[in-house]
Chain A
Amino acid sequence: MRKNNRSLLTKYILLMAFATIILPLAIYIAQVIFPEIIIQYNVNFAKEEMNRDTFYNRYSSQINMASLIILIGIFIIFMAVSYIFFNSIRKRLVRLETVMALPEDKTTLKPISISKKDEIGNLEKQFNQMVEQLTESRKKEQNEEKVRQELIANLSHDLRTPLTSLRGQVYSLKKNHSDIEREETIESIDNKISYMGDLIENLLSYTLLSSEKYPYTPERLELVRLVRRYFADWYDTLEAKNFEIYISLPEEPVYGRIDENLLRRMMDNVIQNVIRHASEGKYISLELLPGRNQHTLKIMDKGPGFEDADKNSEGSGLGLSILSMITKMMNIEWKIDTRDTGTIILFLIDNTGKSPQ
């Protein structure tokens, strides 16, 4: 990039050197114009009739004239060369300026053709790179904007739906007289409230994750204890919902490079989804299968599955986006297989390095 750094200067010096060579050329031209001076000079010197002083005295006006012409000539050549040189630079700079100036619509900057391989050429190259980066980031921005708008649209739907049913339920509470009905309605209202709380939580996580502000400190950790502890927190809830729970964790330590909080978030997310969308199946299994290179964390339910993650409302789209961001951060590959008889999610966690024994 810096190779051509001085090429403009070199070019100018070369041009000037060329202009200086004009001087002997000018003398030669002078000879052609005033041949008698040279002839006289040579003849007189040859005859040794005349010393230098008398020669100068006799031809002083012609000599002065010639010197002046030479000087003026050199000066004009200098001026001309400099003018041409700087004018060409000026033109290129003006061109660059016109291109760089933000156009009327203020959206697109176009890349510019590179004129020469010199400093200005480099400038143009840099400019092109800048334009490219700008276009790229603008594209990214537009994309993010689109995602955000969709998210907000989905979210307001996801929030409005439970709010509507909340209102309906509160209304029916006023009318209901049977205690059992009342009890059921209150229970359902309570669930809706937790659901909305989770939804807002997910939204915040999503925002943090997508702006890359989520703290991430990966460490080599023992997975069995973490997985067990995180699952334990859900056990009561699952039990209360009459889930059949199957757990299979290895008897020996299993190590992986993960971030504790993100792993927890990941598991919470999946289990929450199971409770929310697959409780009809009344079944959840959690397995950790150690492997030589990769460990597999498998969570399975027997719920009705979901056909299209994006179109499935009730906020699971958001949950899946969070999952994919979390797994991406931790370098965990994940697979999801969903059918109408159940859903299996696999997380492949790299086994980095050896265990401490």
Chain B
Amino acid sequence: MTNILYIEDNEEIGSWVTSELEDRGYSIEWLLDGDDALEKAEKAHIIILDVMLPGLDGFTLGQRIKNYLPDTPIIMLTALTSIDDKIQGLNFADDYLTKPFHPKELIARVEMLLRRSGQISEESMTLHHLEVYLKAHRIIDLNTDDEILLTGKEFKIFFHLIDNLNQILTKEQIYEAVWKEQYFEGDKSLMVHIRHLREKVEKDPSDPIIIQTVRGIGYRVKI
């Protein structure tokens, strides 16, 4: 079970967020202040942290948790203006949501961060005619029951898109995540790899449904 540490001093918001996340099958530890946060954070897979807290503020607390547990993702709940205001203070956070946030949005971000940090709860997911094993990093074609084998780059591109499920990634973002070097406008190598990748995973590579092209922007895998 995935443990979420949630620190929020407002009772009303705290209780609906908690029940919403519990409905999704997460186990929530909800704290009203940051006093025991460091201790409790050890068991958490992900931390949701409100900025406005009594005593130690969310920025300082988040920074401390990050220093102590660098691998645990942190989502900050804040006002956008204070992000601009304290842009340095928020560098440690993996993501942020602005109030008033939508519960659907919060759940989507939590799931994405869990996937990205490898702490996924689900073993596999079905994508059209594919079954993707997230922990084993295997892809099975459900029509033939054969495993689809990808080259190193194709594999990295595919799972980077899966890690950022439903999100549009720009060409630069994918290139820089996979090649680990600066992308220059006009580079065609990503396009070539995507084409090869589609030939393997798509039923009809000329009409891709798994890896969608978002014209002028980039690509996404959407469920």
Is B126 close to A, CB under 8 A? no
Knowing A232-B218, A247-B216, A249-B216, say if A225 contacts B79 (CB, 8 Å): no
- B102 touching A208 by the CB < 8 A rule? no
- 8 Å CB contact of A193 from B100, B183, B184, B215: B100
CB-CB contacts below 8 Å: A239-267 with B: 245-254, 261, 265
Which residues from 49 to 108 on chain B have a C-beta closer than 8 Å to any C-beta of chain A?
79-81, 84-85, 87, 98-100, 102
A222 at the interface (CB under 8 A from B): yes
Q: Which residues of A contact B216 (CB under 8 A)?
A: 228, 246-249, 286
User: Closest Cβ of chain B: how far from A241's Cβ, in Å?
Assistant: 15
Residues of A within 8 A of B81 (CB): 201, 204-205, 208
CB proximity of A83 to chain B, nearest CB, Å: 64
A218 to B82, CA, bound (A): 19
Residue on B nearest A224 in the bound complex, by CB = B185
Determine if A222 and B185 form an interchain contact, defined as CB atoms under 8 angstroms apart.
Answer: yes
| A310 contacts the other chain (CB 8 A) | no
Once the chains are docked, how many angstroms separate the CA of A194 from the CA of B104? 13
The B-contacting residues of A in range 115-151, CB under 8 angstroms, are: none
| Mask: chain B, 168-185; 1 = CB below 8 Å from A; 0 = not | 111111000000000111
Given contacts A229-B173, A232-B170, A252-B186, contact A201 B98 (CB under 8 A): yes
List A contacts of B87 (CB < 8 A): 215, 261
Chain A residues with CB below 8 A from B173, complex form = 229
- Distance of A254 Cα from B184 Cα, bound (Å): 11
Q: Which of B157-215 contact A (CB under 8 A)?
A: 166, 168-173, 183-186, 214-215
A214 within 8 A of B: yes
Q: How far is the CA of A191 from the CA of B170 in the complex (A)?
A: 28
Do B218 and A205 have beta carbons less than 8 Å apart? no
Interchain CB contact under 8 A, A225 and B217:
no
Asked if A190 is at the interface of the complex by the 8 Å CB criterion, the answer is yes
Interchain CB contact under 8 A, A251 and B218: no
Whether, in the assembled complex, A41 has its beta carbon less than 8 Å from a beta carbon of chain B, the answer is no
Q: What is the total of A-B residue contacts with beta carbons within 8 Å?
A: 74
* Range for the number of chain A residues in contact with chain B: 35 or more
Residue numbers in A under 8 Å from B218 (CB-CB): 228, 232
A204: chain B residues at CB < 8 Å are 79-81
A205 and B81 alpha carbons, distance in the complex (Å): 6
The reply to whether B215 and A247 form a contact with Cβ atoms under 8 Å apart is yes
* Contact residue among A194, A208, A232, A249 (Cβ-Cβ distance under 8 Å from B85): A208
Whole-angstrom CA separation of A163 from B80 in the bound complex: 22
Let me know if B214 and A235 touch, CB within 8 A.
Answer: yes
Q: Which residues does chain B contribute within 8 Å of A236, judged by CB atoms?
A: 166, 168
Q: How far apart sit A201 and B216, CA to CA, in the bound complex (Å)?
A: 29
Q: Does A35 contact B (CB under 8 A)?
A: no
**B168 — nearest CB in chain A belongs to which residue?**
A232
- Chain B residues, Cβ within 8 Å of A228: 170-172, 216-218
Q: Which residue on chain A has the smallest CB distance to residue B183? A: A225
The answer for the CA separation of A167 and B172 in the assembled complex, in Å, is 45
Does residue A231 face the partner (Cβ distance < 8 Å to B)? yes
Look across to chain A and name the residue whose beta carbon is closest to the beta carbon of B185: A253
Within 8 A of B (CB), among A273-309: 286
- Whether A231 lies near B185 (C-beta < 8 A) is no
Q: Give 23 CB contacts A-B under 8 Å.
A: A204-B81, A205-B81, A208-B81, A214-B84, A215-B84, A215-B85, A225-B170, A228-B171, A228-B217, A228-B218, A229-B170, A229-B173, A232-B168, A232-B169, A232-B218, A235-B168, A235-B217, A246-B216, A247-B215, A247-B216, A253-B184, A253-B185, A253-B186
- B residues sitting closer than 8 Å to A (CB atoms) are 79-81, 84-85, 87, 98-100, 102, 166, 168-173, 183-186, 214-218
| Chain A interface (Cβ < 8 Å from any Cβ of B) | 190, 193-194, 196-197, 200-201, 204-205, 208, 213-215, 222, 224-225, 228-229, 231-232, 235-236, 245-254, 261, 265, 286
Q: What 9 pairs across the A-B complex have the smallest Cβ distances?
A: A247-B216, A204-B81, A232-B168, A253-B185, A197-B100, A225-B172, A228-B170, A251-B186, A232-B217
